[in-house]
Structure 1
Amino acid sequence: MLKTALQYYFGFSQFRQGQEALIQSVLDGKNTLGILPTGSGKSLCYQLPTYIKQQPTLIISPLISLMDDQVMQMKMYGERRVVSIHSGMSHSERQLAFQQLDSALFIFVSPEFILQPHHLNRFKNMPLGLIVLDEVHCLSEWGFDFRPHYALINHVTDSYQHVPILGLTATATSHLKSDIEFVTKQSFTLLQSDMDRPNISLSVKQMTSYQDKIDWILETINTSGPTIIYVSSKKVCLDIAEQIYASGYLTGIYHADLSYEERYTVQQQFLKNDIRIIVATSAFGMGVNKPDIRTVIHFHLSSSPSSYLQEIGRAGRDGKQSQAIALYQEDDQYLLELLATGHQITEEDIYLFEQRTLIDQEKHDILSVLSQHYSVERLQKIFRQNYQQKVRALQHILQYINAQTCRRNQLMRYFNMSVKTSNNCCDICGISHQIDEKNRKKVYRKISYEEKLETLF
């Protein structure tokens, strides 16, 4: 039955790994936590059950840019019964979206938006067939970079006790299932596929300086194919992009301070291979469905294996050989420590918040949301555990960098997963297939006198 529905609605004859079991679990009415590798078609796991049940699905997503990308992709494939509503819209855009709710089959909202009581009331009488918590690993990312409203999501799910919940993510640590059960106060069936991507070779390049990294990149991108270069900040993003452009390559930049229109333009240019090199912060990647990315370079490493696996998983979605290369110099350890725990909410922060004393504004905002649901004692325990988890994740990344045996095995050990890869595994085991896909330099030519006049007038 499921394969018949898959053929009818999507034109596919076979499911990808893990999809069929997830969909069947949802159709059986079970709360399900699905962990599928990046690029394995997680969206189909809620789209097909929605078409089969013909009831609206509510998709709660932590990122507005991801939400907009998903809506755009569905509309490109002909689905008109899809709507998104979030705080980034104008008042008139939100009013139009609300008018479309009654006919919508797929409804995308952010946690911050739907948890506002006057918005939540609009959804309470809808005959939902499924609630999706997208990128659900955000539930476990307590702290500075956490979406705190996700921790209050039971205010939504409590209104739909008999509607199954589907949590989806590409990476998860051992405590994600207990976290989602704690937040929703419901039990979940865990269905997890192998997160290893054997077509992506792994390597670490030891560097002596910042400029050493730049020089290596300028030499490597000549034959790296479509490439993402991940950096830690907007400042570094702009600097590297300028140097790449000055060396003759068209390149795009992507960071959180860009407008939606700017981010969308860069994404589209990258998808169409008009631009083949992107320099980006971790804001880039979710929802960017480009199958032929050949190289992911980390100018600065992620501070956790979960983030690193998510980012390198954007390479090789077409199944072809690709590569993930991390550049590392000794000074980077201080940066990794800062990224991992530098903005951690501490017991002192919680005490200052309780005493209504001035603390960092962003920490204050997070605690203001969480204190609606959790006691001071519970918050202290949560952030104490979170600090320990972040330290453990950082230690594992440092072990990955300094590994003397198989890097892939070291990375996947964090997720309690074994490794089956044999060929093109990592720089320690040996890489027999090197990426050699030419990136053309931009064409320089003299313009005519008439063309110069046109640019002036």
Structure 2
Amino acid sequence: MLENDLMRYFGFATFRPGQKEVIDSVLHQQNTLAIMPTGNGKSLCYQLPGYLLEGLVVIVSPLVSLMEDQVFGLQKQGEKRGIAFNSQLTGTDRQYVLHHLHAYKFLFLSPEMLLQEAVLNRLSQVPIALFVVDEAHCVSQWGIDFRPEYLDLAYARQQLHHPTTLALTATATKEVEADIRRYLLPGEAAVFRYSMNRSNIGLIVEKTTDKMATLRSYVARLNGAGIIYCATRHQVEEVYQSLKSSYAIGFYHGGLASDQRKMLQQQFSQNQLTLLVATNAFGMGINKSDIRFVIHYDLPDSLENYSQEIGRAGRDGLASQAILLYQTHDEQIHYFFQRETQEQINQLIERSEVDQGVPWTPLQEKWLQKSRKIGVDQWQQTVEQNEQNKRAKLREMLRYINLTTCRRTFLLQYFGENSQTIDPCCDNDGLVIDQEKESHVSGQQDTWQTLLLKMFKDVN
């Protein structure tokens, strides 16, 4: 029985909803799409089969931080055969890993790294037990303008001799599901869809003319650990500077060095830090079940991303809060990003017609290769459609902001689910934050930088 294997390798007596069905599917060599809510244990769906099947488990992951989270989680379980094969490794280290793949069980890498000729060639020479695409919705959301390599994963599967494939995501509309099946799971595939509803997470939107004051008010009233999400690195650091004198707080974004990010993840997981201000690069795989609240200081660009990010709260099943702060015109940052993308696309099209002798950026090189592969006209049409989809998603996000009816019902219907009555459910249904903070931290606290220096002093 699979329950015996679950107990043997992980010490759990029972599966969470959906896990056993997904695992059974891939063990029967069935290509599988699993749409399961954040915090429902998607990682187990490839980890347990990995122990039961001969060969290497290859996990395609969109972010370095997510790979590091997953490897750290494996290490905490005592599994030493996991490796994040990314730019944080030196060239020498990457060569070592490629020549010693037999020593590893779980290999995490980005689609860009996977599609490098030397990497793909080497992987094609070893038995692949399972090919996993984590955060598979990226095929639909990032495939054109940001991560075109996601669209080439079907080619990678072909080069790897069509291994059994498992696509995992927490949120997917019917359209996104269709994209995942089209690009990753050709032919017959088993699809397991479970409700993305997290009934223990209360939903609140606060319209304000002073977001910092409103943020301070919420943080002062909320207990436990929390994440504050911002749209840009600059905003992350600004919020951090405003709160650091009053709370045990750190900040996290892609501009930090790898060792700094790892230290922050460890400090937050071990409750040395109560608050973390971050871009959405943080949290996609962090194994911390007792996050009591997620606050969006800036407006997310889609309900998909919003649902992913609030799902990092309350994984232990206890009451938690998702609070979104909105100030008039917050959506302009996303319109700016969209205009910037469109301008870069226009420049690329112009430059592709007339060589100006100016070096291409890495992203422009990717776009150029893709446009040449499928034809400039078709590529441009696809990009324009993608931009229209982004604007439509942002409009739905704004509809959520301005709702006067139940927010949970709206979210569930957006993802094609039936509404579920929960009381109190959201601010429109009477949910309020009235608790007093049990242990408000006052005075100067150690920042993550100070904690890092102390640890080095202790070692020396």
Give the TM-score, by structure 1 length: 0.90
Residues 135 and 391 (structure 1), Cα distance of their counterparts in 2 relative to 1, 3 Å cut: same
Return the alpha-carbon distance in structure 2 between the equivalents of residues 298 and 420 of structure 1: 24
Cα–Cα, structure 1 residues 185 and 249, in superposed 2: closer, same or farther, change >3 Å?
closer
Q: Partners of 2:439 and 2:255 in 1: how far apart?
A: 28
Matches within 5 A, 1:416-427: 416-427=416-427
CA contact (8 A) 2:348 2:368 kept: no
Indicate the residue corresponding to 1:54 in structure 2: 54
Q: Could you tell me how far apart the structure 1 residues matched to 2:435 and 2:228 are?
A: 16
Partner amino acid, structure 1, of 2:226: T
- Structure 2 equivalent of residue 227 of structure 1: 226
Aligned residue in 2 for 1:286? 284
String of CA shifts for 1:148-186, please: whole Å, max 9, x gaps: 222211221002444211011111222223323333471
Match of 1:256 in 2: 254
CA contact 1:142–1:383 (8 Å) conserved in 2? no
Unmatched segments (≥5 aa) in structure 2: 446-456
Secondary structure of 1:3's counterpart equals: helix
Could you tell me how far 1:207 is from its partner in structure 2? 0.5
Distance 2:345 2:81 in 1: 47
Q: Is the 1:303–1:337 contact (alpha carbons within 8 Å) kept by the matching residues of 2?
A: no
2:192 is the counterpart of 1:191? yes
Q: Is the 8 A contact 1:61 1:111 kept in 2?
A: yes
Report which stretch shifted further, 141-150 or 384-393.
141-150
Kindly state the Cα deviation for residue 221 of structure 1 after the two structures are TM-superposed.
Answer: 1.2
1:341-364 Cα distance to aligned partner (Å, 9 max, x none):
652478745632531456984651
Q: What is the Cα deviation at residue 308 of structure 1? A: 0.3
Instruction: Determine the C-alpha separation between the residues in 1 that align with 2:181 and 2:58.
Output: 19
Kindly provide the CA deviation profile for residues 293-318 of structure 1, in whole angstroms up to 9, marking residues without a partner as x: 11111111101000000011110011
Shift of 1:373: 4.2
Task: Name the SS for the 2:205 alignment partner.
Answer: strand
Distance change (3 Å), C-alpha of 1:379 and 1:182: farther
SS at match of 2:71: helix
Q: Which amino acid aligns with 2:215?
A: I
Name the counterpart of 2:297: 299
- For 1:190 and 1:166, the matched residues in 2 are separated by 10
Q: CA deviation at 1:380?
A: 2.4
Report what 1:333 is aligned to. 331
* Deviates most, 303-312 or 222-231: 222-231
Q: Could you tell me which amino acid in structure 2 is paired with residue 269 of structure 1?
A: Q
Structure 1: segments with no counterpart, 5+ residues: 446-453
Residues 280-289 or 135-144, more deviating:
135-144
- Is residue 2:42 matched to residue 1:42? yes
Whether contact under 8 Å (1:203, 1:427) holds in the other structure is yes
**Residue pair 2:58, 2:130 contacting (<8 A) in 1 also:** yes
- Pick closer, same or farther for the CA change 1:362–1:83 going to 2, 3 Å: closer
When residues 422 and 393 of structure 1 are mapped into structure 2, their CA distance, relative to the original with a 3 A threshold, is same
Alignment of 1:35-434 (within 5 A): 35-142=35-142, 146-184=146-184, 186-187=186-187, 188-208=189-209, 212-224=210-222, 225-246=224-245, 248-339=246-337, 342-344=340-342, 348-349=346-347, 351-356=349-354, 361=361, 363-371=363-371, 373-431=373-431, 434=434
Q: Is the 8 A contact 1:222 1:439 kept in 2?
A: no
CA distance in 2, matches of 1:25, 1:100: 29
Specify the alignment match of 2:450 in structure 1: none
Distance 1:177 1:13, change over 3 A: same
Distance in 2 of aligned mates of 1:240 and 1:206: 18
SS of alignment partner, residue 316 of structure 2 = coil
C-alpha spacing 1:122/1:23, structure 2 compared with 1 (3 Å): same
The superposition leaves residues 53-72 of structure 1 with CA deviations (integer Å, 9 ceiling, x where unpaired) of 23321111121221122112
Percent sequence identity is 38
What is the CA-CA distance between 1:340 and the residue it aligns to? 5.2
Report SS of the residue matched to 1:125.
coil
Flag the 1:71–1:363 CA change in 2: closer, same or farther, 3 A: closer
Q: Which amino acid aligns with 1:4?
A: N
> CA 1:444–1:329 in structure 2 vs 1: closer, same or farther (change >3 Å)?
closer
Distance 1:94 1:363, change over 3 A: closer
CA distance 1:412–1:129, shift in 2 (3 Å): same
Moved over 6 A (4+): none
| Bigger mean CA offset, 28-37 vs 411-420 | 411-420
Aligned residue identity for 1:148: P
1:343-402 alpha-carbon deviations (Å, 9 max, x no partner)? 247874563253145698465133134246433233223213212221221111110000
1:323 match: secondary structure: strand
Q: By how many angstroms is 1:123 displaced?
A: 0.8
Aligned to 2:452: none
Distance 1:311 1:103 in 2: 34
